[in-house]
Each structure stands twice: as C-alpha cells, then as structure tokens.
Amino acid sequence: MSVIEKIDFVQMIQMRDFEGIKALVISKVPIIIAALVILIAGFIISDFIGSLLVKALKHKGVDSSVHSFIRSIAVFFLKFIFVLSALSTLGMNVNSFIAAIAAGGVTAGLGLQSSVSQFASGIQILMNRPFRSGDFIDIGTVSGTVREIKIMYTTLITLDNRRVIIPNSTITTSNIINYNAENMRRIDLKYSVSYDTDIEKAREALLAVAKRNDLIAENPAPLIGVSEHSSSSINLACMVWSKSNNYWPVFYYMQEEVKKEFDARGIKIPYNQLDVHISDNK
C-alpha cells in the first residue's frame, strides 16, 4: 500500500466511508492472495529443502546429533526470506526492516564474539569431521572418548570416567590425535632381560604370548628386536598390531602374560641393584 493509499484509507475511516473502504480492500484481494501463495509455497519449499539437507548430511557422515540443528537454521533463514518476499508483494518497504535487523545483528555480534567463535568452530568440526562420537582423542591438555559434539562445545569422557566439556574454539586451535581414525593400531611395548638371557629364547617367549591372543593381528606380524643395551639389562622392543578398540585389552594382556611366560621359561627380568665393594685397607 503506497503512502497516498494509506492517507486515503485513513481519511475513509475518519469519514466513515465504508463503501470506499470496501472497494479499496477488494482491489487489494489479488495482491493479498499472491502474498499468501508466496508465503505458503515458501514454507513448503523450505521444509522440503530442509529434508534434502538432512539427507545430504547423512550421506556425508555428519554426526546425527546435529542434523536437526543445522536443518532448523537453514529452514529458518529460507522462511525468513519468503516472509520478506510476501511483505514486499503487499507493498511494504522491507529495506528499513532489513537494515534494522542487520544493525541489531552487528551489535549482538560485537557483544557475543566468544559465542560466535564457538559457533563457527562447531560448524568447522561438524563439516571437517576430525573425529566422531565414540572416538578416543587427545587434544594435548586432555584425552578421552567423545561423548557428544554440540555446536558450542564437545564433551569427552576420560579413562577415569570424568566428564570434560571443552569449548569448540579450543579444539580447533589445538593439535588433535584421533586414536580411532584408523582401524588398526600398533602397540609398542618394551621388556627387559638380563645379559645372561638367550635373546632368541626371549624372542620366542614374546611371540608365543602374542600368538595365544586372537585380538593380536597376524598381519602385520609382531616385530621383536633388541632396542637398547642399558646398564643392567637388554631391552627388547615388542610391537604388535590390533584393532584400535582393542588397544588396552591387548596392552594389559601382554604385560601380565609376558611376566608369566618369562617365569615359566626361567628368563630373568633384571632390577636395579647396587654392588658394594668393601676395601680392607689398613
């Protein structure tokens, strides 16, 4: 409705010109219908695009916990655009309305810089997928299993069952080690034997322990060799492979069973000792 039409409409009300008001309203019916069609069709299209977006996110493997959030944001902006289009069809000036929203957005953005940074970091994590729910990660200051990924923060559960909530901006600016990113993981172990021990005998003992556990992979095969000649022992490196989820069960299995195997085969594990020599000088 133009400025002149608004003035005429006000004058009609003041003069109680009901016939004029009726005629003006009837003349605007096609425009009103067109605006309603834009609005209804726009809302339907927005919901349809939102559904397509969710399918695309699932196809890309984005964590399911954020599908609804991203969909709601996208649908909101699409519906907002269609509302502005409908208002423009009715003859309303939406430029000032958009300018006011933009000014308010700038003001809010300045006051919520930290939150905006968290939000942007959350989107980055969800799109780049450096880790997923259930992965065990290390970000330098803390490590644990990812419980949930939110837009503003990520929750980890540590090995001692503590819940740690980390701002997403901290994660995106840190080095991330994802222990579950690959299906297989190597477990590096070290065992010490005395200098009197037959190295081949010790190697056979370690291989026997590794072969008894089905969680330890045959390919790549376990690798065992001398890693160091220390002051009181020969150190053997024992490297075995397993699925990433079986890292700790295999680690503790090897630590316990190797001690039992060494004892059964008479292989001595040295310990630090001090030899004292007494000189009888008179």
Tens of pLDDT, residues 17-34 = 556 555 655 666 777 788
Dihedral in degrees, nearest 10, Cα atoms 90, 96, 98, 100: -140
Q: Extract the runs of DSSP E, i.e. beta strands, from the chain.
A: 136-138, 143-149, 153-157, 163-167, 177-178, 184-193, 223-229, 234-243
Domains and CATH numbers, the chain: 3-111 (1.10.287.1260), 129-178 (2.30.30.60), 184-265 (3.30.70.100)
Residue 125 CA to residue 222 CA, distance in Å, equals 36
Between helix 18-60 and helix 3-14 the angle, nearest 10°, is 130
Give the least confident one: 37-51, 53-67, 184-198: 53-67
Q: Residue 4 — pLDDT band, cuts 50, 70, 90?
A: very low
Residue 14 CA to residue 103 CA, distance in Å, equals 37
For tokens 């004292």, the residue is 276
Higher pLDDT, 8 or 234: 234
Tens of pLDDT, residues 211-243 = 999 999 999 999 999 999 988 899 999 999 999
Residue 193 reports pLDDT greater than 90: yes
